[in-house]
Chains A and B, each alone.
Chain A
Amino acid sequence: MSDARFLCLEKLTLSYGKNVAVPEMNLDIGKGELVALLGPSGCGKTTTMRAIAGLMEPSSGAIILDRVDITRTPANKRPVGLVFQSYALFPHLNVYENVAFGLKLMGIRGKKLDDKVQEGLRTVGLSKFATRKPAELSGGQQQRVSLARSMVMEPKVLLLDEPLSNLDARLRLEMRTELQRVQKESGVTMIFVTHDQVEALAMADRIIVMLDGHIEQIGTPEDIYNRPVSDFVADFVGFENVFALEGRKLKTPTGTVELSDTPPRDAKGLAWRPSMVTLGDGPFEGTIRGTSFAGGTREYLLDTPLGPIKAECDASLPAHEFGSVLKFDLPVTKAASLSRVGSL
């Protein structure tokens, strides 16, 4: 079944001179998937995307798209679209001409060209702006033009580089649903690069978390959010209390601590979200060193023998005083168990 292996990266190695940015990456992406490449800056996600687009030549390995090896296919011959972070619209052309640019190069002319451009503009809701120059558009509108310009080419894969990072908060929400809609309606395989876990969780069917050039975890948003496999992913998705295990004990900066329950046998570490920490009862004690009100909840920073612990409770409960000592527990049953703890 090739649909699940529509786009395959096989032992793909990408380097800048002698610096290997991405070593031997293997990845399969299914047809019609909306995938997020998530990771901090410098993790190799943009490099990977540029390699898929053909803007960067791999030093070894292969890229297979729809059963065709495109590793050495030049960028202008690949059925791949890319929406740039800065949109990269052509400043001397108006919206219509920007969208028509690629189609004209394909030799499409006359009514067919006009139909395709109009349809592209309609898809992103910009029919009325056809004669505007890019400089006369807002960021969100430029983004849409850029999206339409790539979509009219009917690429097999559409890549988006940080598609929401240049938009303000409200537009970001709007554009999220817009991108999802365009993707579902057209069925195009879409890969977007982001450093924002909220964006990735909200939009993607599947998330690929990258760190230092390798894939740290692949999974559905639920997998990534609830069952992170490593300390890095755990921390990235909001498990702010992450510990390595030493045998059945928790490793802390000052030594080891016995837990109230037995951790899973294959776990190398445990992680708790602030909301998973039981406050007011338990075997441990901590001093409140900071509080912050976050609407529905109240967050506490505790100074404890285990190191700093972040805890959270319902904001309707009476607030604890700064400096007061609180009992708490890290319940093993709630914790995410990590199979890798790289940096602890």
Chain B
Amino acid sequence: MTNKLFSPIILLLVLAFLIGPFLIIIAASLSAGETLAFPPQGLSLRWVLKVFEVESFRASFGISMFLAIGGTLAALILGIPASYALSRYKVPGAETIRTIVSSPIIVPGIIVGLALLRYFVVPFNFGILFALFLAHTALILPYAVRVVSASLNNLRSDIEEAAVLLGSSRIGAFFRVVMPNIRGGILAAFILGFVTSFNQVPVSLFLSGPGVRTLPIDMLAYMEITYDPSVAALSALLAFMSLGIVFLAERFLGFSRYV
């Protein structure tokens, strides 16, 4: 009896805890007032529209998109061959390689950011955008390797030998019969990598410099000066974008199978 009563209540509380902040942000972004507040003072779309007028948001959105797409592509270009080697060959020290590849997930972003700043940007005078690109690629790589490995492990390896015996070269076999069968995994890795990079704060915080900021960093900076609901509006827009991507992925690819 108690179980039947309690479990829905607990479920509701957990959902409220998870979704609540999101709902508050959405509500706050629809405010007609001048400052960020909840409950909102009146209803209007003025702050949502203002987001598109702020010059620095547009620039940093571009940079974030570039890092998310470019970094993910770079991580996949490195990660697909790495996953293939790890799953198909007896690589000496495979476990160590796997650990190293996954370490950016385990090491706190603050430390990664500081280390990159201290040992790459400062001594080698790397451009900020390039350093950010390297950092994001490294952060996405573990996701790429993990997700692509999962779909490679689900794929029989003898189909490659079958392709070779039917006249294909080894490399040809990879592109003709392996790639088409791990396409879902690659797309899933792309989406995960994209979202991870786009939401990344700690690493970017250290590496962002004058004129080059990712969107989350820019939002932080904006809020330090201007405390209006446009940041809430932007957050809500970004949340809907992420939600849309994941929804489409789940809908068309069965995304959750790969993660």
Interface residues of A (CB under 8 A from B): 53-55, 75-78, 80-82, 84, 86, 88-92, 101-102, 105-106, 149-150, 153
Q: A91–B181 contact, CB under 8 A? A: yes
User: Of residues 135 to 194 in B, which have CB atoms within 8 Å of A's CB atoms?
Assistant: 155-156, 158-159, 161-169, 172, 176-177, 180-181
Q: Which residues does chain A contribute within 8 Å of B166, judged by CB atoms? A: 76, 101-102, 105, 149-150, 153
Q: B167–A88 contact, CB under 8 A? A: no
Q: B181–A82 contact, CB under 8 A? A: no
Q: Which residues does chain B contribute within 8 Å of A76, judged by CB atoms? A: 164-169
Q: B161–A88 contact, CB under 8 A? A: yes
Considering only CB atoms, which chain B residue lies closest to A161 in the complex? B158
Known: A90-B177, A92-B180. A84 touches B162 (CB 8 A): yes
List the 10 closest pairs (A to B, CB-CB), nearest first. A102-B166, A88-B162, A105-B167, A88-B158, A92-B180, A88-B159, A76-B164, A75-B164, A82-B165, A76-B167
Cα–Cα distance between A140 and B87 once the two chains are bound (Å)? 29
Q: Mark B104-123, 1 if CB is under 8 A from A, else 0.
A: 00000000000000000000
Considering only CB atoms, which chain A residue lies closest to B169 in the complex? A76
Considering only CB atoms, which chain B residue lies closest to A99 in the complex? B166
Cα–Cα distance between A77 and B172 once the two chains are bound (Å)? 14
27 A-B pairs within 8 Å (CB atoms) are namely A55-B161, A55-B164, A75-B164, A75-B165, A76-B166, A76-B168, A81-B165, A82-B162, A82-B165, A84-B158, A84-B162, A86-B158, A88-B161, A88-B162, A89-B159, A90-B159, A90-B162, A90-B163, A101-B166, A102-B166, A105-B167, A105-B168, A105-B172, A149-B162, A150-B165, A150-B166, A153-B166
Q: How far is the CB of B172 from chain A (nearest CB, A)?
A: 8
Cα–Cα distance between A105 and B158 once the two chains are bound (Å)? 18
Q: Which residues does chain A contribute within 8 Å of B169, judged by CB atoms? A: 76
**Is the contact region of chain B dominated by helix, strand, or loop, or is it mixed?**
helix
Cα–Cα distance between A259 and B184 once the two chains are bound (Å)? 72
Q: How far is the CB of B45 from chain A (nearest CB, A)?
A: 46
Q: A88–B156 contact, CB under 8 A? A: yes
Considering only CB atoms, which chain A residue lies closest to B173 in the complex? A76
Q: How far is the CB of A118 from chain B (nearest CB, A)?
A: 18
Cα–Cα distance between A54 and B156 once the two chains are bound (Å)? 19
Q: B167–A86 contact, CB under 8 A? A: no
Q: Which residues does chain A contribute within 8 Å of B167, judged by CB atoms? A: 76-77, 102, 105-106, 153
Q: Which residues does chain B contribute within 8 Å of A82, judged by CB atoms? A: 161-162, 165
Cα–Cα distance between A81 and B165 once the two chains are bound (Å)? 6
Cα–Cα distance between A150 and B199 once the two chains are bound (Å)? 50
Considering only CB atoms, which chain A residue lies closest to B161 in the complex? A55
Q: How far is the CB of B49 from chain A (nearest CB, A)?
A: 46
Q: Which residues does chain B contribute within 8 Å of A88, judged by CB atoms? A: 156, 158-159, 161-162
Q: How far is the CB of A105 from chain B (nearest CB, A)?
A: 4
Q: How far is the CB of A72 from chain B (nearest CB, A)?
A: 15
Q: How far is the CB of B178 from chain A (nearest CB, A)?
A: 10
Known: A76-B168, A76-B169, A92-B180. A84 touches B161 (CB 8 A): yes
Q: Which residues does chain B contribute within 8 Å of A149, judged by CB atoms? A: 162, 166
Q: Which residues does chain B contribute within 8 Å of A105, judged by CB atoms? A: 166-168, 172
Cα–Cα distance between A90 and B160 once the two chains are bound (Å)? 9
Name which of B156, B158, B159, B166 has the most chain A CB atoms within 10 A of its CB.
Answer: B166
Cα–Cα distance between A239 and B224 once the two chains are bound (Å)? 91
Q: How far is the CB of B31 from chain A (nearest CB, A)?
A: 51
Name which of A78, A101, A153 has the most chain B CB atoms within 10 A of its CB.
Answer: A101
Cα–Cα distance between A90 and B162 once the two chains are bound (Å)? 9
Q: Which residues does chain B contribute within 8 Å of A92, judged by CB atoms? A: 177, 180-181
Considering only CB atoms, which chain A residue lies closest to B170 in the complex? A76
Considering only CB atoms, which chain A residue lies closest to B157 in the complex? A88
Q: Which residues does chain A contribute within 8 Å of B156, judged by CB atoms? A: 86, 88
| A81-B165, A82-B165, A105-B166 known, 5 other contacts, Cβ within 8 Å | A53-B165, A55-B164, A76-B165, A88-B158, A153-B166
Cα–Cα distance between A150 and B159 once the two chains are bound (Å)? 13
Q: Which residues does chain A contribute within 8 Å of B176, judged by CB atoms? A: 101
Name which of B159, B167, B172 has the most chain A CB atoms within 10 A of its CB.
Answer: B167
Considering only CB atoms, which chain A residue lies closest to B180 in the complex? A92
Cα–Cα distance between A198 and B98 once the two chains are bound (Å)? 47
Q: Which residues does chain B contribute within 8 Å of A81, judged by CB atoms? A: 165
Q: How far is the CB of B160 from chain A (nearest CB, A)?
A: 9
Q: How far is the CB of A209 from chain B (nearest CB, A)?
A: 26
Considering only CB atoms, which chain B residue lies closest to A155 in the complex? B165
Q: How far is the CB of B157 from chain A (nearest CB, A)?
A: 9
Cα–Cα distance between A101 and B168 once the two chains are bound (Å)? 9
Q: How far is the CB of A74 from chain B (nearest CB, A)?
A: 8
Q: How far is the CB of A126 from chain B (nearest CB, A)?
A: 17
Cα–Cα distance between A153 and B181 once the two chains are bound (Å)? 24
Q: Which residues does chain A contribute within 8 Å of B162, judged by CB atoms? A: 82, 84, 88-90, 149
Q: Mark B80-112, 1 if CB is under 8 A from A, else 0.
A: 000000000000000000000000000000000
Considering only CB atoms, which chain B residue lies closest to A101 in the complex? B166
Considering only CB atoms, which chain B residue lies closest to A152 in the complex? B166
Q: B161, B163, B165: which contacts A80 (Cβ < 8 A)?
A: B165
Cα–Cα distance between A196 and B155 once the two chains are bound (Å)? 28
Q: How far is the CB of B235 from chain A (nearest CB, A)?
A: 40
Q: How far is the CB of A37 from chain B (nearest CB, A)?
A: 18
Cα–Cα distance between A78 and B159 once the two chains are bound (Å)? 17
